[in-house]
Amino acid sequence: MSPLKKYIWLVDAIMRGGELGLTIEQIGNKWDADDEMRSNGAFSKRSFYRHRNEIEELFGITIESYSIGQEFRYRIADNGKSDYFRHWLLNSISVNRIVTDSQQVAQYIDIPRANANTPLPILLEALKDQRMVSFTYGSYWMKEPVLFYNFMPHALKMFERRWYLIGRYNDNKPYRCFALDRMSHCELQEETYQRDPAFDIEQMYDGVYGVTIDEETPVESVWIKATPLQANYLRSPKLHESQMEIGEKEGCPIFALRVRPNIDFRQKLLSLGSTIEVLKPESLRQTLREEVQKMSQLYEEE
């Protein structure tokens, strides 16, 4: 059995213990009760402590120990909630274990297939060691794939179940964003680089909906009126972290957002159809009005 499977099993088992966690004896009992784990040897406290350190080093997931009276217990620190990547990883591990353990249920769970050739592991290593990468990219704006070399990864971002790489070529070039599912032949280079200490992904994406790096479109206050039913879907999950519900008009809830109304945001609004109406700013209303008119012309009867 690979070490990774053991890591996944341990993280999932302890995560299922919740905030109370598990004692070392309970972890051992679960291990020995699992046919697959037991077939690779009995539970070992020594191995557990080693795996615990390796899990933190590899994934940033801390299995913390604490005491209740004379009893020592183990749990996932903060349930991974303080870090988006750890939270995503923990959720992925949980789903993976549920499907693996429950074959009778697995046939009723439809999970979108991920690209098996994703360069995510390579890029994670590049970020960790600050090594340059090369890759071929098939942009929708270019007729032929382009080879990129000496690229300096600075961050990874997920949006709508897709991973994106943010980085640049050198200190004088602007940051660019690439979708991992359009990459091929991604390789680590021997050359290293120094990550810009001023790089701040939160500041870069301030007010941005999506992944497009947009410094030209100013941040504006956008008010959206939604039908009562659609409002339920806007409340969770929110369109943007800045979203607030500020009142209602004609029985319809009104939401205020602090965003850059770029193309990604406009397309999202248009996808909601007549269930929402942008109240302000007028410039955004006008842009959407023109787009709706173009759409309407496509469906006019001849």
Give residue-wise pLDDT tens across range 76-129. Answer: 887 555 555 555 665 666 556 555 555 556 566 665 555 556 788 788 888 888
Mean pLDDT check: name the lowest of 58-62, 184-188, 226-230, 251-255: 58-62
Using CA atoms, how far apart are residues 181 and 228, in angstroms rounded to an integer? 36
CA dihedral 155, 158, 163, 166 (to 10 degrees): -30
Is 238 or 113 the better-scoring residue by pLDDT? 238
Longest CA span, the chain: 82
Distances (CA, A) of 74 to 21, 22, 64, 67, 267: 5, 5, 6, 9, 46
Block residue for tokens 């905030």? 19
What would the pLDDT profile of 132-177 be if each residue is shown by its tens digit? 999 999 877 777 888 888 999 999 888 887 889 999 987 778 899 9
Using CA atoms, how far apart are residues 146 and 183, in angstroms rounded to an integer? 10
Span 218-231, average pLDDT: 95
**Is the confidence at residue 286, as pLDDT, over 80?**
yes
Residue 166 contacts residue 199 (beta carbons within 8 Å): no
Mean pLDDT check: name the lowest of 11-20, 90-99, 254-263: 90-99
**Is the confidence at residue 41, as pLDDT, over 90?**
no
Query: Helix 84-101 vs helix 3-15: angle between axes, to the nearest 10 degrees?
Result: 100
Using CA atoms, how far apart are residues 155 and 124, in angstroms rounded to an integer? 9
Q: Which domains does the chain have, with CATH numbers?
A: 3-106 (1.10.10), 120-197 (2.30.30), 220-298 (no CATH)
Residue among 90, 44, 160 nearest 98 (CA): 90
Mean pLDDT check: name the lowest of 80-84, 148-152, 217-221, 273-277: 80-84
Is 273 or 301 the better-scoring residue by pLDDT? 273
Would you say the C-alpha torsion 162, 163, 167, 168 has a positive or negative sign? negative
Mean pLDDT, the chain, integer: 85
Q: What angle do CA 14, 122, 63 make, to 5 degrees?
A: 15
| Per-residue confidence (pLDDT) for residue 93, from 0 to 100 | 60
